Structure 1
Amino acid sequence: MIKRLILLCLGAAALPALFAQTLVPVTGVVQDPKGAVFAGAQVTLQSHTGSASKSTTTDKSGAFHLDTAPGTYALRVEAAGFAPLTKIVTVRQEPLTLDITLTLAAVASEVTVSAEPGNVVEVDRSAQRVNSISLDELQERTRSTLAGLAQGEVGLAQQRTSPTIGSVLVRGLNDVGVYVDGVRWTQSTQRGGISTFFNLNEATAAETVEVLRGPSGAQYGSDSLAGTLNISSRSPLLGADRFRTSGELSTQYATEDHSYGSNLLLNAGSPRFGATLDLAGRRTNRLRPGGGFDTHAAVTRFLGLPSTIFGERLPDTGFTQYAGLVNLSFLPHPDHQIGFRYQRGQQDGGKRYDQLLGGDGNLIADLRNLMLDFGYLRYQKQRLPWFDHGVFTVSYNSQREERVNQGGQGSPLAPITRDRERTTTWGFNFALHKHLAHHSLLFGADIYHDRVTAPSFAFDPVTRTDTAVRPRVPHGAQYLLYGFFAQDAWEVIPQRFRLVGALRHNVASYRARAADAPVVGGSPLFPDDSLRVGDLSGRAGAVVTLAGGVNASFNYSRGFRAPNITALGSVGLVGVGYQVSASAVRGRNAQIGTAADATAISTGLAVSPLQSEYTHGYDAALSLRRGRLQASFGGFAMDYRNTLARQALILPAGAVGTRLGSDVIIQQDPSGVVYVAASTAPVLVQVNFGSSRVHGFESEVKFAFSNAWSMAANYTYVYAADPSGAPPNTEGGTMPPQTLNLKLRFAPSKRYWLEAYSTLTGRQDRFSSLALSDRRTGAARSRSQIQNFFRRGATVRGLVGPGPDGAFGSVDDILLATGETLSQVQNRVLGAANSAPLYTHLPGYGVVGLRGGVQLAEKHSLTADFENIGDKNYRNPQWGVPGPGRALALRYAVSF
């Protein structure tokens, strides 16, 4: 089946390449504001693939000349002493002549290559809402990991599961498809609620990042329920009139975690060949949070003690990261381009702080040998017989990890599991583009095949023996995802009224074989399992220009997520606790709980096989760009159907001592809720459970007061509810709080600049039962969990003494910091309750910072960032580690 699909795609893709058309000349003159011609300006035509398709410099008369195929491009002009200029140009069959006038200061125009695959569109004229994050903004926000790109962005929020693990939330949801240069990066084993590998995408290797807000299944297929994130790589310089080289060497240091690192970027280019090399490495040490304390630390959660008993810097928050990127481009002929890209990313020494002293109190939660190998070979052909442009890409994606965990809330005798997991994906996609008088057409297909290798073992510290155990996802599991898509962008009235429509048909299939499973006690640890689902997604958008620079946009889009390997076959620890799949409890009369915490009782609904989730998104926005002012105001609503939720697993009485995968059920409440040693929360099961609605408001304003002074502000509000009006148990179970970001910038010259910035958030008290139970948010705890940590993790760490009888583990053991016995600690922490969350809300906060840069010499620069000046302690929902405290970060760069 796979071979037939690949042959079908290759045959359809290769057919147009038998014929040819002619290239079209694009010429023009670049002038300064006074009308004088400007020599030496860099002029680049950027295609929809995000690469530098053609580039040249203006001659002594300010003129430039480039040849390209018909299509829509972003023309970017960069000249020393002037603001970069980006302009959308449409190349048709006849020569195009342009007059370009540079400016000293302006609100920069932004373009997107992701909202409409195959087209380059001004963000103001995109029906779908888009965040376009520039190279300068990435350098300011991503000192440690790429997920920091969300800071200060409208509609986006950063998720900080641990110092190494993070992701970008779009309108409060983590259901975001990730792409690199338009190639699918997301795999079918991605964990729900967190993204283990996202931060292995090296920030220094990215030129820009675009985030589509709202469902985008018609453009990008499965997993784009809430949006899509596309990383555009640093690309080679092609089309220069002679061989040129350039580069940059930078180094940085930050006091928040005493992190330090360096980055080397090298570029070489000629009229026919270009190469980019990016190397980066950094060491991140222990984090000092705001105020020097962690509100969710295990000692606070279970013992009511401040985290400062272990110092102001958080243990187990250090790690090392290094990465490399090679990007090559070759023009064997003016209308042919061959590109090769390969990146390697690795993290060593990382730990799940939220499972250690940051939440559950365990002794071991290692993230070892996290590795990413991602690459593609791309062929672009212009001048096709029926199409203007074709792009054909073969890709390889390997993501691997080793997780070492010991549960039991700090028990040194608990089994130590070692999960080695590697998912390898081979993919192929093609897209064919045709530009007519008022239409831009796109047709294509893609196919991705995942295969999992996942040996897993448990070491018993008592018997000193290793035993094969059930892996998190089935070893040998395979997943196939393929689809066919079409898109039309129609300029009904040029520059006044624009329509966009897209359709995609996707199919996903999954297979796991019991023959690949470890055999324990004569039985395989997972059964034969398979699933095949299909989906048709669509999109329709309109942009109306009401007046010069004033646009109204409307967009409907459908997103979907086919059940992936994680949803169908995972058993094990996730961000919010211990989770099982529907197939893992097949034949056990399992039922769905009413909540995701210990209060759950049975709904009477049986746990059944999963179906695809889908969303219907509706957006309306008004945007304004006039002179020095840019603004946008919009509202959105999203109906989330067949929601994949995490609910408590309810089993018939007598489940204690039986297994879920390789973990033994150690406790069962009268309601049927069960527990395993690996987590303090009830066992959860992923099921399609009900629906929810997410709606909100987004606004953004940018204004240049003068050539030197400018400001920017944006506001985001997101609200989610299930049919009963309660917060739904999707993702982490809680939306980010309403957020206001402010910036005031002073840049009197190219020599230096200064920017004050702040983030203000509201109180968030809409916690679902999943969020209340989550160690990272509500941090619920019970008397038995307090007892476990008191007698295990706290005792091992030297916080508990033996009491008068001199023996550990008896009723007179005392908490050394207070002199209390276990029962006294339980009563102080919980009062008369048997269990309760530590927090039922997260307070609002305000963080203020000041950053700036200075050009020390023509090729030497220094930037500094004095963040969280007030040393505010803060965190958002689903954060397993608090935000950094008062800190100074420095970056020095030299270009050559």
Structure 2
Amino acid sequence: MDPNTLLGAELLAALPRIEASSTDPGRTAARPCSASVRRRAGRVLATLALALPALALPLSADTSGASNTDATASTADATAPAPTPTPEPAPDPNAPASDPKASEDSKSSEELPSFFATTTVTALGREADSFEVATPVTVLRALEIERKAPNNAADLLRDEPGVDVNGVGPNQSRPVIRGQRGLRVLFLEDGLRLNNPRRQTDFGEISGIVDVSSVETVEVVRGPASVLYGSDAIGGVLNLIPKNPGPRNGRPVGGTFDGRYGDAGDSTRLSANIEGRTGDFDFQVGGSWRDASDYDAPAGTFGDITLDQSVPVVDTGVQDDSFWGSFGWQANDRNSLRLRFNRYRADQTGFGFVEPDQFESTEDFRIRILYPYQQFDRYTLGYSGSALETAVADSVDARVYFQKNRRELVNDIDIDIGPIAPGFPNSSVEANSLNYTNLETWGLRTEVIKVLGDDNLLTYGFEGYRDDSFNTDASTTTTTIRFPFPPFQAVDLSTDEVPNAPNAKNTSWGVFVQDEIPIGARFRVTAGLRYQNVATRAEATPGWDTTGLDFDDDSVVGAVTATWQITDTLNLLTSYGTAFRSPNIIERLFNGPTPEGAGYQILNPNLKSENSDNIDIGLKYRRRNAFFELVAFRTEISDGIVQYFLSPEEQSALPPAVQEAIANSGASFVVQQRNAEKLRYEGIEAAIGYRFDFGLTLGGNFTTIDGKRLDSTNPPTGDTYSDKIVGYARYEAPNGRWWSEYRFRHNGSQDVNLDPNEPAPPVGTELPAFTVHTIAGGVNLFERAGVTHALQLTIDNLTDELYAEFSNATFFRPEPGRNYAASYRIRF
């Protein structure tokens, strides 16, 4: 009998016994405070104490700060073209003497626009100056996206404060924010959800489904954002703001063509777009095509792993393409409609791995995870109304969307189970499975802004969506028992076509309200509240008894932020917010071999939503040619969903049919998603930048993060860095003709996150520190008849270091060695 047929009876009855036995009396609670964080904080604050006086000095030669609306600057990295100097009026000889610093600080930001100025639409749900927003946010604009030439949006985050990257290859990267990844990070396009309820906890939707060529701005909100965006926004939000057709300056159409080659994986990428405007109508259409092979990792040592020569990282290549567009109609000065579409197609790619025989692996299994194809389509129709001046609304934004996400997942797992008796050759299990998933989503989001009084902004709205998930699974398990005598081996072949999770509908809706309240001229408070209901209904599925598997939960979350403008150049900020995340279909209902390893997961229909509390406190300093930010945060997640490794005693309490299925799969461990008592994350994020008036910009950022699970000695942050330091130097020619850049990133070492019942990975029990260096530059070659030709060159991993991003290290997936990339861009 298949174990899934027991889900309404024997297995469900056994779950309370299993959970009751999961408490280990030998575990001690972690200390409530982190000494390591306090030590790191002391080092950072000492450094900043030296840096702040330098930033506060009068800058007598500060004439470089004319703002450019096309400039690119982030809180950690500015890539704007050299601004045009703004002449200052001659001083009045009869004017009384004054303190030059006080005089400069008293000038408004309009008189002294900052080279580092950015705006955000994600943090408050409307366009706002990032300097005036209490929520920590990173903004990367179009020029910086072009210069960094990322494979996908998540690749842009490697050098930013408080963030990290998970996954390898051109299209498989995913964001990590403040130690949270996968489903604890909300992925948005233009404020609309892209998170996939069929993904696993640690592996959210890939950012590659949105073509970076279609993106105007990448925004990262660090910290909870559930008030505005609902479930999953615990660690933060990655929001990709799409391009809109711009002013044509008398030309009916314009566009770009970009050709790019990189020797990492022999990668070729072509992209193009065209846009135009006629009367009340505008359009923009673009697309890209990419072909990349598996790249090579260099020789070297990383932890306990040594590669004697460069080796391929298998399944990191891909052939994919995107097609996207936007069509707008300006009905009048107040009302407009816009239709957007996005189509993405990817052929076979994979999770990525190095063949075990390429290094001295201690593991007795080989795992290959493939995605034969992925297809994503989204269509969005939006209405925007402004200057409405009605009793309930001054502006309205309403969008309805439909998206379809189809993919196949293949797991090929070869396990050496050792000899069945002394002197016998090793026996083996080969488990091959194929999963097909079709997820269709309908969604609606409305946002309304009403100005109350002179400067009180009230935002409220509704958001709802429904996911309809259909999936099939087919698996073949081949067990080979070997003997030292005839018949020498016996082979047992078994097949199973029962899905590992039932078909299901996931429905969610919520209402939210947010009020921005000025208190005097220099103090501003923003308070918000949201109610959200989430329900999952398991549907009839062959081989499943879905009795008792439905889920219904509601949550109320809130947030309060405050900004105190001490001077025109210095803001103090603080925020407190709560967030939540409802368990998805896979976390609650998946029952079978784990997709990411030689394990077996048993379902947990009693899984609850996890909730978080977050506190931020910090400051933002920004003047015409300098900026500095410092934020300390503490996040606590209650009922945090973690992957729990069952002990042998707990496995023996499972129903016999489940134990048989586990044995037949060859799994070396058994896991279950469970609610932990509490997870705590603490950290500090700092960023600094200085722009000299001759075109040189220096800057960098620092992040330290520490996490603990308060009901266990098992830390939850073992797959991200403990400390990260980023530095850069960039020169831009005063005439804007060319630019060059050097940057480095150093990740400090980190202990591996190991459950008491989890085996140590090949890399060892500590993830080693690494440093990566990059140089890049670009030049505008020539311009003829309004057509500009530009060339860009990049050398990444300059020292050819063997390393893996920490979330890719335990399942060893290293980054490419030294690699070169060139781009040729034509703009008209």
Q: TM-score range by the shorter chain?
A: 0.7 to 0.9
Q: Is the 8 A contact 2:529 2:558 kept in 1?
A: yes
5 Å matches for 1:321-332?
321-332=320-331
Take 2:772 and 2:556, find their aligned partners in 1: how far apart are those partners?
A: 44
Distance 1:467 1:526, change over 3 A: farther
The residue that corresponds to 1:91 in the other structure is none
Q: Is the 8 A contact 1:241 1:271 kept in 2?
A: no
Q: Is the 8 A contact 2:721 2:748 kept in 1?
A: no
Matching residue's letter, 2:790: S
5 Å matches for 1:781-796?
none
5 Å matches for 1:219-234?
219-234=228-243
Matching residue's letter, 2:542: P
The residue that corresponds to 1:857 in the other structure is 782
Q: Is the 8 A contact 1:733 1:770 kept in 2?
A: no
Take 1:649 and 1:251, find their aligned partners in 2: how far apart are those partners?
A: 51
Q: Does 1:506 find its partner at 2:532?
A: yes
Take 1:153 and 1:653, find their aligned partners in 2: how far apart are those partners?
A: 43
Take 1:269 and 1:100, find their aligned partners in 2: how far apart are those partners?
A: 33
5 Å matches for 1:30-69?
none
* Aligned with residue 703 of structure 2, among 716, 720, 737: 716
The residue that corresponds to 1:743 in the other structure is 728
Distance 1:122 1:772, change over 3 A: farther
Q: Does 1:259 find its partner at 2:267?
A: yes
The residue that corresponds to 2:411 in the other structure is 405
Matching residue's letter, 1:747: E
* Aligned with residue 374 of structure 1, among 358, 366, 378: 378
Deviations 1:80-111 (A, max 9, x none): 97499xxxxxxxxxxxxxx99999x9623111
* Aligned with residue 157 of structure 1, among 159, 164, 186: 164
Q: Does 1:207 find its partner at 2:216?
A: yes
Q: Is the 8 A contact 1:242 1:270 kept in 2?
A: no
Q: Is the 8 A contact 2:651 2:670 kept in 1?
A: no
Q: Does 1:272 find its partner at 2:306?
A: no
Distance 1:773 1:554, change over 3 A: same
The residue that corresponds to 1:418 in the other structure is 434
Matching residue's letter, 2:118: E
Matching residue's letter, 2:629: S
Distance 1:180 1:720, change over 3 A: same
Deviations 1:695-739 (A, max 9, x none): 11111001012231111110000000122683434xx74332311
Matching residue's letter, 1:473: A
> Which TM-score applies when normalising by structure 1?
0.72
* Aligned with residue 874 of structure 1, among 803, 811, 826: 803
Q: Is the 8 A contact 1:142 1:148 kept in 2?
A: no
Matching residue's letter, 1:176: V
Take 1:526 and 1:578, find their aligned partners in 2: how far apart are those partners?
A: 24
Take 2:272 and 2:722, find their aligned partners in 1: how far apart are those partners?
A: 38
Take 2:598 and 2:244, find their aligned partners in 1: how far apart are those partners?
A: 41
Take 1:685 and 1:34, find their aligned partners in 2: how far apart are those partners?
A: 59
Take 1:620 and 1:42, find their aligned partners in 2: how far apart are those partners?
A: 30
The residue that corresponds to 1:458 in the other structure is 475
5 Å matches for 1:763-842?
763-765=749-751, 767-770=752-755, 773=758, 778-779=760-761, 838-842=763-767
Take 2:81 and 2:719, find their aligned partners in 1: how far apart are those partners?
A: 46
* Aligned with residue 620 of structure 1, among 617, 623, 628: 617
Taking only aligned residues, the RMSD between alpha carbons, in angstroms, comes to 3.3
Q: Is the 8 A contact 1:699 1:715 kept in 2?
A: yes
The residue that corresponds to 1:647 in the other structure is 644
SS at match of 1:224: coil
SS at match of 1:471: coil
Q: Displacement of 1:355 after TM fit?
A: 8.5
Distance 1:615 1:146, change over 3 A: same
Q: Is the 8 A contact 2:252 2:278 kept in 1?
A: yes
The residue that corresponds to 1:182 in the other structure is 191
Q: Is the 8 A contact 1:260 1:283 kept in 2?
A: yes
Q: Displacement of 1:316 after TM fit?
A: 2.8
Q: Displacement of 1:510 after TM fit?
A: 0.7
SS at match of 2:550: strand
Deviations 1:498-555 (A, max 9, x none): 1101100000001113xx2223xxxx36555101101000010000010121000011
Q: Is the 8 A contact 1:842 1:876 kept in 2?
A: no
Q: Does 1:580 find its partner at 2:586?
A: no
SS at match of 1:137: helix
Q: Does 1:530 find its partner at 2:553?
A: no
Higher relative contact order (CA 8 A, sep 6+): 2
Q: Displacement of 1:223 after TM fit?
A: 0.4
SS at match of 2:312: coil
Deviations 1:668-708 (A, max 9, x none): xxxxxxxx42x54x121001022121111111001012231
Deviations 1:546-605 (A, max 9, x none): 01210000111111001221221123424466353544xxxxxxxxxxxxxxxxxxxxxx
Matching residue's letter, 1:694: Y
Q: Does 1:473 find its partner at 2:473?
A: no
* Aligned with residue 815 of structure 2, among 864, 883, 888: 883
Range that drifts further, 497-506 or 361-370: 361-370
* Aligned with residue 489 of structure 1, among 496, 501, 516: 516
The residue that corresponds to 1:597 in the other structure is none
Q: Is the 8 A contact 2:369 2:596 kept in 1?
A: no
Take 2:366 and 2:308, find their aligned partners in 1: how far apart are those partners?
A: 18
In structure 1, stretches of 5+ residues that fail to align are 1-32, 45-77, 85-98, 584-607, 668-675, 781-837
Q: Displacement of 1:256 after TM fit?
A: 2.1
Distance 1:293 1:342, change over 3 A: farther
In structure 2, stretches of 5+ residues that fail to align are 1-60, 71-79, 87-107, 417-426, 480-490
Q: Displacement of 1:279 after TM fit?
A: 0.5
Q: Does 1:147 find its partner at 2:154?
A: yes
The residue that corresponds to 1:567 in the other structure is 587
Q: Is the 8 A contact 1:132 1:211 kept in 2?
A: yes
The residue that corresponds to 1:807 in the other structure is none
Take 1:276 and 1:413, find their aligned partners in 2: how far apart are those partners?
A: 53
Take 2:118 and 2:739, find their aligned partners in 1: how far apart are those partners?
A: 21
The residue that corresponds to 1:385 in the other structure is 390
Q: Displacement of 1:196 after TM fit?
A: 4.5
Take 1:771 and 1:755, find their aligned partners in 2: how far apart are those partners?
A: 45
Q: Displacement of 1:319 after TM fit?
A: 1.4
Matching residue's letter, 1:848: H
The residue that corresponds to 1:673 in the other structure is none
Count of aligned positions:
695
Q: Displacement of 1:146 after TM fit?
A: 2.6
Q: Is the 8 A contact 2:219 2:238 kept in 1?
A: yes
Take 2:110 and 2:127, find their aligned partners in 1: how far apart are those partners?
A: 21
Q: Is the 8 A contact 2:311 2:354 kept in 1?
A: no
Deviations 1:481-507 (A, max 9, x none): 11000011112224x111101100000
Matching residue's letter, 1:484: V
The residue that corresponds to 2:713 in the other structure is 726
Take 1:144 and 1:412, find their aligned partners in 2: how far apart are those partners?
A: 38
The residue that corresponds to 2:542 in the other structure is 518
Take 2:428 and 2:545, find their aligned partners in 1: how far apart are those partners?
A: 26
Q: Does 1:844 find its partner at 2:776?
A: no
Take 1:242 and 1:145, find their aligned partners in 2: how far apart are those partners?
A: 33
Distance 1:312 1:400, change over 3 A: same
Take 1:242 and 1:753, find their aligned partners in 2: how far apart are those partners?
A: 29
Q: Displacement of 1:148 after TM fit?
A: 0.3
> Which TM-score applies when normalising by structure 2?
0.78
Q: Is the 8 A contact 1:393 1:428 kept in 2?
A: yes
